[in-house]
Amino acid sequence: VTSVKEVKVCLLGESGVGKSSIVLRFVSDTFKQGLEMTIGASFMTKTLVVDQQTVKFQIWDTAGQERYRALAPMYYRGASAAIIVYDVTKRDTFDAVKGWVRELANYGPKDIIIALAGNKSDLEDLREVTKKEAAQYAEQIQAIFIETSAKNDSGIKELFTRIISRLPAD
Ligand code: GTP
Ligand code: MG
């Protein structure tokens, strides 16, 4: 008998940080330079089998542009986890993470798992946010922290498996 655990996850973060690229890499193992900006939100699923458990992720990829910001609650409502993405080469996108953390604390589901993903780690020469600084912040807020590259397929699967390991046992 196999039971499938359905896990709702949403991605939040500024426009252009690579939310859709992370999802595209995770779901289809592809990367597109110059992906279109997301309009509203997009939905995808991906099933992972980890330690004999089957997890079906229901992934809501939100649009980072300011004009869509008010829609976010529709997507984090009922979510088990929120992945807040920033771009390691853009300091302002890391500063914006704090706003999302505050919003989730105030209006998000109680006990939502927060994962902080520092994307575009392949662009080391352009880095503006150190790994140490982000790791310290994540520890403060008890979030999962990982640096990712959707382009190089670095850290993406680990991001989702680390979310699984924090899910409450059923
Ligand atoms: P919105 O939908 O507007 O919120 O943006 P988004 O966060 O979904 O960003 P998206 O995935 O569309 O990526 C923005 C741009 O960054 C695209 O041109 C991607 O090709 C590029 N990009 C995404 N991830 C990476 C990465 O890991 N490394 C590099 N070098 N570029 C990336
Ligand atoms: Mg997008």
Q: Report the mean per-residue pLDDT for the chain.
A: 96
ipTM: 0.99
Distance 19 CA to ligand 2 centre (A): 5
Query: pTM, whole model, 2 decimals?
Result: 0.98
- Which ligand is located closest to the Cα atom of residue 64? 1
Question: What's phi and psi for 56, nearest 5 deg?
Answer: -105, 110
- Which ligand is located closest to the Cα atom of residue 66? 1
Please tell me the distance from the alpha carbon of residue 25 to that of residue 69, in angstroms, as a whole number: 24
In this structure, the strands spanning 81-87 and 113-119 are parallel
Distance 161 CA to ligand 2 centre (A): 22
Ligand 1 pocket, mutate which of 26, 35, 61, 153 (most atoms under 8 A from CB): 35
65 lines ligand 1 (CB under 6 A): yes
Distance 62 CA to ligand 2 centre (A): 7
**pLDDT exceeds cutoff 60 at 1:** no
- Which ligand is located closest to the Cα atom of residue 69? 1
Q: Kindly report, residue by residue over 14-35, the tens digit of the pLDDT.
A: 999 999 999 999 999 999 999 9
What sign for the dihedral angle of Cα 128, 130, 136, 138?
Answer: positive
